[in-house]
Amino acid sequence: MRGIVSASFPAILMLCLGPVHAQEAVAPEGEDTAFQVNGVTVSMEEFSRKMQEEYGQTYQELLITRILVEQEAEKAGLDLAEVDQRVETEIQGYLKNPRFRGDMKALRAQLKFQGVAYEVWRHTIRTRTISQMLIDSTRVPPEEDLRTIFVGDYGKDGVKWRIRHLLSAVNLQASKLFNRDEYQAELPRIETKAFLAAEAALGRAKAGEDFISLVMSLSQDPVTATEKLEGDLGTRWQYHGGDFDETVNATPLGGIGGPVKSSRGYHVVKITGEAPADFEAEHILLGTRALAGLPPEEKSAQMDTLRQKGLSILEEAKGGKDFAELARVHSEDPRTQPRGGALGVRKMPSQFGPEFDQAITKMKEGEIRGVIESRAGLHIIKLKKKTVLPTVKHILFSTQYHVVRERRIRPLLEEQAMGKIQAALKAVEGGEDFSAVVKRDSDDPSTQKAGGEVKNYRPEQFGKEFHDAVTEMAPGDPPRVVKSRRGVHLVDLLEVRRTKFEDVRDALVDKWKQQRQVRGAEIQTFQDQLRSNAEVVIPSR
């Protein structure tokens, strides 16, 4: 018999007992009479016997579980006053339901209608609450989880900056400088300039300069010229036109090619490797999602059983047994099982995740491999065909209107913004309150009303140059003028908060527990464990 898990216990009993429609009446005469129905009398003895036969074991197990849980609470020295406070808070939460509107009588009436005594229902909540608190008292959060919470609450390395700023925005979209007609008239010169710049970059790369350094200093591709991608297009370079394709295909592995023109401008490319672009395969899937809620030991045992099954299937497949037939018999992928596990032609990366893709990358056509674990389950894979493409990094010298326009007019707009910031700085240096100047002059509506204070400032919020300035400042330093992608800022550092991880560990553990509430399955496992370890004597009747 399972233990007590859910506060929806009334609903469970309603399924067993059904709704109670009988109206209350004066009790029939006779001390031994429980009730009468259309003249038929049911004695207390018969009523008790029927209750014992039909519901006795259910209530017995509920009561055993309650006693066991309360015994554990006593051993652990659990604060029962806190338990009762939590129970009362939960009950008050039920009472807030529009169905009851705070009326305890209405709640009790609903429970009675469902055939459940209020005290039984309350004990169900109490037993679950005690179980939650006992589990919580022994749960140990992973260190990496605590570190993640720590960084979110207290900043990287426990440092947080409290700043305020005044922004003079560089609004490129609103500017009327350098319109499309001017761009079209100047396009031949723009393209010539981009081509010459690409040729110069190609010469530097072939002379031995680090290609990634050239990407970071020269490339005008805002998507790939980042510290994360370093100019990487991967295998997705086939959208730049035929000339680009020819250049890539003509450049050897490790080689550098270009300049090559596309609709975006002129590129210098480097062939960095090769990877599958698409593949055709068959697979046999042994699903593992159903194991997600199991206790760790049971889950591990089930996974071992599945792996052994997978290895057995793999051995049959490598031994020459028809793969498609094996898939039809064993695969748990409802989409591919009827067609012998055929996945068809799939693009990389696949929907199965990196482990599956890494296996495909290493396999040769015709090879059978397993057992590969992915987020979907365990796979045995037969690779029929794959298309391998070069992987490419590039440096782009853009000739696109929006990029050229920004390059052309941004210095002019920054000059205007700088003039506005210098005037604001002069006002602050002259004694005006920083917050008052912000409220009057700042172009950042999200911080203007708060006097420029940035709530929960993040190091990446305004870019590297901005944050470098913040880290160089000390509280009380004069405000500093700094540029960012958004414009020009006047920055004032108010405070630097430094927190040691060990000083707040207890608070981090509490927060981890709040974020990861004990689930019903954990409570059930806990109660089942208590029941299996308990000495319960039930006399035969």
Instruction: Please give the Cα distance from 307 to 286 (Å, whole number).
Output: 9
Same domain, 17 and 102: yes
User: 35 vs 67, which has greater pLDDT?
Assistant: 67
1 found inside a domain: no
CATH number reported for the structural domain that contains residue 218 in this entry: 3.10.50
pTM over 0.75: no
Does residue 251 surpass a pLDDT of 60? yes
Is a pLDDT exceeding 60 seen at residue 409?
Answer: yes
Whether 272 and 284 share a structural domain: no
What is the tens place of the pLDDT at every residue in 302-342?
A: 888 999 999 999 999 999 999 999 999 999 998 999 999 99
> For residue 541, what pLDDT is reported?
58
One domain, residues 187 and 326: no
Q: What pLDDT, on the 0 to 100 scale, is given for residue 12?
A: 35
Q: Is the dihedral of CA 66, 67, 72, 73 positive or negative?
A: positive
DSSP, residue by residue, 448-490? HTTTTB-TT--TTSS-HHHHHHHHH--TTSPPEEEEETTEEEE
pLDDT tops 90 at residue 268:
yes
Average pLDDT, the chain: 88
Q: Which of 49-53, 314-318, 455-459 is predicted least confidently?
A: 49-53
Out of 349, 374, 402, a domain closes at 402
* Any domain includes 538: no
Whether 334 and 430 share a structural domain: no
Residue 350: DSSP 8-state: P
Q: Would you state the pLDDT for residue 42?
A: 83
Give the pLDDT mean for 191-211: 97
> Cα dihedral angle (468, 471, 474, 476), rounded to 10 degrees?
60
CATH of the domain at 334: 3.10.50.40
Closest-CA residue to 152 (of 504, 517, 516): 504
Number of neighbouring beta carbons within 10 Å of residue 330 = 18
Say if CB 166 and CB 437 are below 8 A apart. yes
The reported pLDDT for the residue numbered 58 is: 77
pLDDT higher at 30 or 94:
94
First vs last C-alpha separation in the chain:
19
> Averaged over 186-199, what is the pLDDT?
97
pLDDT band with cut points at 50, 70 and 90 for residue 29: low
What single string gives the DSSP state of each residue in 2-69?
-----TTHHHHHHHHH----PPP-PPPSSTTEEEEETTEEEEHHHHHHHHHHHHHHHHHHHHHHHHHH
Give residue 1's pLDDT band: very low, low, confident or very high (50, 70, 90): very low
For residue range 336-370, list pLDDT tens digits in order: 999 999 999 988 888 888 889 889 988 999 999 98
Residue 512 DSSP symbol:
H
Residue 539: inside a domain, yes or no? Answer: no
Do the domain assignments include residue 504? Answer: no
pLDDT at 451: 96
Answer yes or no: is 510 within a domain. no
Q: Considering the domain boundaries, does residue 508 fall inside one?
A: no
pLDDT at 2 over 60: no
Residues 241 and 299 occupy one common structural domain? no
Range 136-164 average pLDDT: 90
**In the numeric block, which tokens belong to residue 187?**
């396009």
CA 352 to chain centre: 17
pLDDT band at 114 (very low <50, low <70, confident <90, very high): confident
SS3 177: coil
User: Domain total for the chain?
Assistant: 4
Neighbours of 280 (CB within 10 A): 16
The answer on 258 and 397 residing in a single domain is yes
Range of the domain at 235: 180-276+393-402
Q: Looking at residues 210-223, what average pLDDT do you find? A: 96
> 218 and 233 share a domain?
yes
Helix (H, G, I), strand (E, B), or coil: what is residue 112?
A: helix
Provide the pLDDT for residue 31: 60
Q: How confident is the model at residue 290 (pLDDT cuts 50, 70, 90)?
A: confident
Same domain, 39 and 114: yes
What are the phi and psi torsion angles at 35 (to 5°)? -170, 170
Q: 272 with 287, same domain? A: no
pLDDT band at 8 (very low <50, low <70, confident <90, very high): very low
What burial class does residue 194 get, using C-beta atoms within 10 Å of its C-beta: 0-12 exposed, 13-18 middle, 19+ buried?
buried
- By percentage, how much of the chain surpasses pLDDT 70? 94
**Sorting pLDDT into bands at 50, 70 and 90, what band is 30?**
low
pLDDT band at 26; cut points 50, 70, 90: very low
pLDDT of residue 168: 97
What six digits make up the tokens of 457?
């400032």
Mean pLDDT, residues 222-239 taken together: 91
**Lowest mean per-residue pLDDT among 157-161, 189-193, 533-537:** 533-537
> Is residue 429, in this structure, part of any structural domain at all?
yes
Residue 146 in any domain: the answer is no
Which of 115-124, 175-184, 469-478 is the least confident region?
A: 115-124
Residues 228 and 125 grouped into a single domain: no
- Specify whether 213 is located in the same domain as 340: no
Could you give the percent of the chain with pLDDT greater than 90? 58
**Angle CA 427–431–435, to nearest 5:** 70
Task: Tokens 């680009």: give the residue.
Answer: 244
Residue 264 sits in the same domain as residue 284: no
